[in-house]
């Protein structure tokens, strides 16, 4: 499994989308086999629409 960082648009208190005023999107990190699986997992965790899934590559020391 690979690690992914998924950026999402948070919801406001009444369920409407509330993008950040600073323009920085919050993210969650999940493990999945591919980007689609990562987006599904991130949506399941946050309940918010997922804008992007970015694979995090392991850095060799």
pTM for the whole structure: 0.82
On the question of pLDDT at 60 being above 80, the answer is no
Using CA atoms of 39, 40, 45, 47 in order, give the dihedral in degrees to the nearest 10.
90
In this structure, are strands 50-56 and 27-32 parallel, antiparallel, or unpaired? unpaired
pLDDT tens per residue, range 2-48: 999 999 999 888 888 887 777 789 999 999 999 999 999 999 999 99
Q: Alpha-carbon distance 41 to 60, whole Å?
A: 27
Cα–Cα nearest to 25, from 4, 38, 47, 7: 7
């Amino acid at each position: 499994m690979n690690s992914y960082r998924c950026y999402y648009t948070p919801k406001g208190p009444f369920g409407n989308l509330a993008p950040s005023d600073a323009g920085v999107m919050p993210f969650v990190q999940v493990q999945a086999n591919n980007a689609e699986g990562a987006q599904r997992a991130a949506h399941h965790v946050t309940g918010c629409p997922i804008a992007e899934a970015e694979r995090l590559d392991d850095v060799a020391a």
